[in-house]
Amino acid sequence: MKKRNQPAIKASLHPRNKHRSRYNFKALVETLPELAEFVIVNKYKDESIHFASPEAVKMLNKALLKHYYQINFWDIPEGYLCPPIPGRADYIHYVADLMAETNLGYFPSNKPVTVLDIGVGANCVYPIIGAQEYGMDFIGSDIDEKALASAQAIIDQNPSLEGKITLRHQSDRKKFFEGIIGKDEKVDLVVCNPPFHLSPEEADAGTQRKNKNLQKSVRAEVLRNFGGQNAELWYEGGEFRFVSDMISESAQFGKQVYWFSSLIAKESHLKGLYAQLKREGAREVRTIPMGQGNKISRVIVWTFLDKKAQDEWRKNRWS
């Protein structure tokens, strides 16, 4: 089969995303020699990996994080979500743009932006990218103590992350901010990648589709175990209910948080979420479009601060 003529730049990714170019496996192997055994030449005569192989994908992530973000140790327990790094980076870059716009065109540099990552997971990827790219300070929350232990191991073994990421256990599965944000604490930005599926059965069906689409001889059980724990994959009511519940509680913390945000996979969910935000009294709501290859996604952002409160926040925290 002839070699494909693929574009050198993935134009759909954010302009500052370091992963816009195709994977340079030669450079990545130089950074992490262990990746070499997973590199193959596919049917199009391109260097690649078996993306259906959990071990190969995890090793690629290790190489990307070391090569681009100076992360010398990164690992996740078996069965936990192994995220696509380019897409995670896109979210961070787009909300960094939001923070710059909020601060009269300049990303706040007087003091680090404080970000709460709801569901930081075992991989700790959003805090890694935000801290390394923009010097953000992160609070990472999760209901899963094993995931938090994994994230803490990553932090502890990378000196560049020291003092940049604090992890907090959410003991109440029905809460997002209560028990995480302190009484007098201020948070500049909330990020969240919500569970997508409605139930374990739907999550399992999604795994089966993924297995079929990859067209690899990998057991669905392996992919399911590799692709995320229950809390990472499904929530009763799915993505819409998760973000809806998050919106309901966010109103109680509207004076302590400037911007709330969440990824939204299904565009059809936006209408109902906008209606709810109006009912809850949000003063400003936006949708930030994102695209990763053939996949279209978006981030919904909202604030309960009026213009006067926004000006005071900017003056008191970022001036």
Grouping H, G, I as helix, E, B as strand and the rest as coil, residue 115 is strand
C-beta of residue 156 within 8 angstroms of C-beta of residue 187: no
Cα 40 to Cα 26, 43, 49, 265, 291, distances in angstroms: 12, 10, 5, 31, 27
Q: What are the start-end ranges of the H helices in 37-124?
A: 54-69, 85-102
Q: Is the pLDDT of residue 231 over 60?
A: no
Please give the DSSP secondary-structure letter assigned to residue 120. Answer: -
Q: Give the number of C-alpha atoms closer than 13 A to the C-alpha of residue 127, restricted to the C-beta side.
A: 31
Q: Specify the DSSP element, H or E, that contains 27.
A: helix 25-31
Cα 22 to Cα 51, 57, 129, 135, 222, distances in angstroms: 15, 15, 19, 26, 27
Domains in the chain (CATH in brackets) are 81-318 (3.40.50.150)
Q: What is the pLDDT of residues 167-210, one digit of tens each?
A: 999 999 999 999 999 999 999 999 999 996 454 554 444 444 45
- CA 251, 254, 256, 259 torsion-angle sign: positive
- How many CB atoms sit inside 10 A of residue 33's CB? 10
Q: Give the largest CA-CA distance in the chain.
A: 62
Banded pLDDT at 3 (limits 50, 70, 90)? low
Nearest-angstrom CA–CA distance, 203 and 221: 12
| Token pair for 99 | 């923070």
Q: Is the pLDDT of residue 219 over 60?
A: no
Nearest-angstrom CA–CA distance, 145 and 303: 30
Cα 214 to Cα 54, 105, 169, 265, distances in angstroms: 13, 42, 35, 20
Q: Is the pLDDT of residue 233 over 80?
A: no
Q: Is the pLDDT of residue 8 over 50?
A: yes
For residues 105-128, average pLDDT = 96
**Nearest CA among 250, 306, 244 for reference residue 275:** 244
| Token pair for 106 | 């300049």
Q: What is the pLDDT of residues 184-194, one digit of tens each?
A: 999 999 999 99
Q: What is the pLDDT of residues 19-62, one digit of tens each?
A: 999 999 999 999 999 999 999 998 888 899 998 899 999 999 99
- The distance in angstroms from the start CA to the end CA of the chain is 58
pLDDT of amino acid 74:
98
| Token pair for 271 | 């209408």
Token pair 């809806």 is found at: 244
